[in-house]
C-alpha cells in the first residue's frame, strides 16, 4: 500500500490505498473447507458452468480460422433442460481441451454500420466510470453476482453479471469478423435445440404462436439461410445440414454457458432485425452478449437451510469436477473489465458499480467512538 496524499507528515491508516490486487482479500476471512476442494478439482478441465482452460503458449499461430479445431470443456450442451432426451448428449461431449489460437492479423472493418456502432460506444464513454474500472484493485467476491474492488480509499460493489454482458457486447462489436472459433466435437442439430428452448417456460410460448415443431423448423431454416454471414462476421458456425458446430472465442479462457445455447438460437431467429444492417449486427451482438454473460449460480432452498459446511460439501460431492468460478471472476473476467470495457454513465446510475464505503468517512465514525 502507498500513501494517498503527497503530505510528508504523519501517515494515517485511512490514507493508505491498495496498490496490489494480491494483498489481503475477503477469502482470507472466510473459513470454507469446501472451497479448497473446489479449487483443487479446478486444476483439471472440469464440467462446470464457468470453465477456465489452458491457453496455448507456443506463440502466434499461422493457422487460419478454418484450421482451428477448438472444443469447449463441458459435460453437455443441454444440461439440466427439459426434454433433454431428444438429443444424445454424449455425442457432443468434447474429446479434448480447447487451445485458443491467437490470430496473426486482423481483418480491417469497412462496413459503415459496424463503424457506426463502434462510434456509438466511444461517444457514450463516461470518463469517471472508465477511471473506476482502470484503477480498481480486486478485493474479493461478495456473492454469485457481486464482487468488491477498491479504488484509492473507496470501496465499490461491482455487479459482474451486468458488466459482463456489456463487456461481451462490446467485444462482439469491436472484434467483428476477427474471432477465433471453438468447434464442438459434433454438430448439434439446431432444430432439436430450438425445440428445447420452446419447451422452456422462459420462451413464453403459447398456442397462439403456432405448433412448436413448425416454429422450430422455421427458426432453424432461417438461421441456416444466414449461415455464411454468421460464420464470416461472428464465427457462429452452422453446417449445411443445419447443425451448430462452432461459436466465437470472445475472451481466452472463458466459454459460454452451453446450456443457454437453445434459447440463444431461438432468440437469434426471432429477436434479430434481419432487414436493417446496423440493427441486425447490433441485435446479433446483444444476443451473443446474453449467451456469454456471467450467470449467478442458483442455490437450492434446502441448501440455504443447511449449515454452511454441510451445504458446500454436498455441492462438492454432487459435482466434484466443477472448477472454482471465483477464479474465473477474478483472473479472467475482471482483467478484461479493467483493460477493455468502455462504460457509459448508466454503469453507475443502474447500480452496476456502487460505492459502499470510504475510508475517510469510516475513520470519522471510528474517531467518535
Within 8 A by CB and 6+ apart from 32, the residues are 308, 309, 312
This prediction's pTM: 0.70
Q: How far apart are CA 142 and CA 160, in angstroms?
A: 11
- Contact by Cβ (8 Å): 150, 18: yes
3-state secondary structure of 80: coil
Smallest CA-to-CA distance from 242 within 309, 276, 191, 291 is with 191
**Which grid coordinates belong to 14?**
485511512
- Exposed e or buried b for every residue in 119-149, given b needs 16+ CB within 10 A? eebeeeebeebeebbeebbbbbbeebbbbbb
Smallest CA-to-CA distance from 245 within 119, 91, 63, 134 is with 91
Residues in the chain predicted with pLDDT less than 70, given as ranges, are: 1-104, 297-323, 362-369
What pLDDT score was predicted for residue 205?
Answer: 87
- DSSP secondary structure letter of residue 56: P
Structure confidence by residue, pLDDT tens digits, 290-343: 999 988 766 444 444 445 444 444 333 333 344 578 888 999 999 999 999 999
* Residue 284: C-alpha distances to residues 103, 114, 288, 365, 369 (Å): 23, 12, 6, 50, 56
What pLDDT score was predicted for residue 255?
Answer: 85
What pLDDT score was predicted for residue 326?
Answer: 86
What pLDDT score was predicted for residue 360?
Answer: 75
The sign of the torsion formed by the CA atoms of 55, 56, 58, 60 equals negative
What pLDDT score was predicted for residue 207?
Answer: 86
* Residue 311: C-alpha distances to residues 8, 141, 249, 302, 329 (Å): 51, 19, 34, 9, 22
Smallest CA-to-CA distance from 347 within 119, 95, 169 is with 169
What pLDDT score was predicted for residue 187?
Answer: 93
Q: How far apart are CA 339 and CA 183, in angstroms?
A: 27
User: E strands, the chain, where?
Assistant: 2-3, 16-17, 137-141, 146-151, 154-159, 180-189, 237-238, 243-249, 353-358
For residue 360, give the H/E element and its range: helix 359-368
The neighbour count for residue 252, using CB atoms within 10 Å, is 18
Separation of CA 179 from chain center: 16
Within 8 A by CB and 6+ apart from 200, the residues are 81, 82, 262, 263
Report, in angstroms and rounded to the nearest whole number, the Rg of the chain calculated over CA atoms.
23
What pLDDT score was predicted for residue 18?
Answer: 57
Structure confidence by residue, pLDDT tens digits, 116-132: 999 999 999 999 999 99
Q: How far apart are CA 117 and CA 127, in angstroms?
A: 19
Smallest CA-to-CA distance from 334 within 351, 353, 355 is with 353
What pLDDT score was predicted for residue 298?
Answer: 60
Could you write out the three-class secondary structure of 303-340?
Answer: HHHCCHHHHHHHHHHHCCCCCCHHHHHHHHHHHHHHHC
Amino acid at each position: 500500500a502507498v500513501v494517498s496524499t503527497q503530505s510528508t507528515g504523519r501517515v494515517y491508516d485511512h490514507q493508505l490505498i491498495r496498490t496490489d490486487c494480491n494483498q489481503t482479500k475477503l477469502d482470507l476471512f472466510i473459513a470454507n473447507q469446501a472451497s479448497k476442494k473446489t479449487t483443487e478439482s479446478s486444476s483439471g478441465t472440469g464440467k462446470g458452468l464457468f470453465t477456465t482452460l489452458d491457453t496455448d503458449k507456443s506463440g502466434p499461430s499461422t493457422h487460419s480460422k478454418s484450421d482451428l479445431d477448438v472444443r469447449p470443456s463441458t459435460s453437455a450442451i443441454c444440461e439440466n433442460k427439459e426434454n433433454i432426451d431428444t438429443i444424445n448428449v454424449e455425442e457432443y461431449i468434447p474429446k479434448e481441451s480447447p487451445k485458443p489460437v491467437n490470430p496473426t492479423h486482423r481483418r480491417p472493418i469497412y462496413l459503415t454500420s459496424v463503424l457506426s456502432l463502434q462510434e456509438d460506444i466511444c461517444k457514450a464513454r463516461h470518463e469517471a466510470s472508465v477511471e473506476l474500472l482502470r484503477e480498481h484493485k480486486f478485493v474479493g467476491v461478495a456473492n454469485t453476482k457481486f464482487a468488491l474492488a477498491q479504488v484509492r480509499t473507496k470501496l465499490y460493489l461491482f455487479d459482474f453479471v451486468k458488466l459482463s454482458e456489456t463487456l461481451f457486447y462490446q467485444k462482439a462489436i469491436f472484434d467483428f469478423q476477427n474471432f477465433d472459433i471453438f468447434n464442438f466435437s459434433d454438430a448439434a442439430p439446431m432444430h432439436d435445440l430450438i425445440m428445447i428452448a420452446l419447451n422452456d417456460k422462459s420462451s413464453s410460448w403459447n398456442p397462439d404462436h403456432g405448433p412448436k415443431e413448425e416454429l422450430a423448423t422455421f427458426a432453424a431454416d432461417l438461421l441456416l439461410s444466414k449461415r455464411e454471414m454468421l460464420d464470416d462476421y461472428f464465427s457462429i458456425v452452422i453446417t449445411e445440414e443445419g447443425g451448430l458446430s462452432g461459436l466465437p472465442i470472445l475472451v481466452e479462457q472463458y466459454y459460454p454457458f452451453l446450456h443457454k445455447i437453445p434459447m440463444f438460437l431461438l432468440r437469434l431467429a426471432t429477436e434479430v432485425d434481419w432487414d436493417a444492417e446496423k440493427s441486425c449486427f447490433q441485435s446479433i451482438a446483444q444476443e451473443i452478449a446474453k449467451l456469454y454473460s456471467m450467470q449467478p449460480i442458483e442455490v437450492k432452498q434446502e441448501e440455504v437451510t443447511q449449515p454452511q459446511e454441510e451445504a458446500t460439501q454436498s455441492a462438492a460431492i454432487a459435482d466434484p469436477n466443477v472448477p472454482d468460478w471465483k477464479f474465473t471472476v477474478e483472473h479472467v473476467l475482471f482483467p478484461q473489465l479493467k483493460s477493455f470495457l468502455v462504460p457509459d454513465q448508466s454503469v453507475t446510475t443502474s447500480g452496476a458499480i456502487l460505492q459502499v464505503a470510504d475510508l475517510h468517512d469510516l475513520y470519522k465514525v471510528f474517531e467518535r467512538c
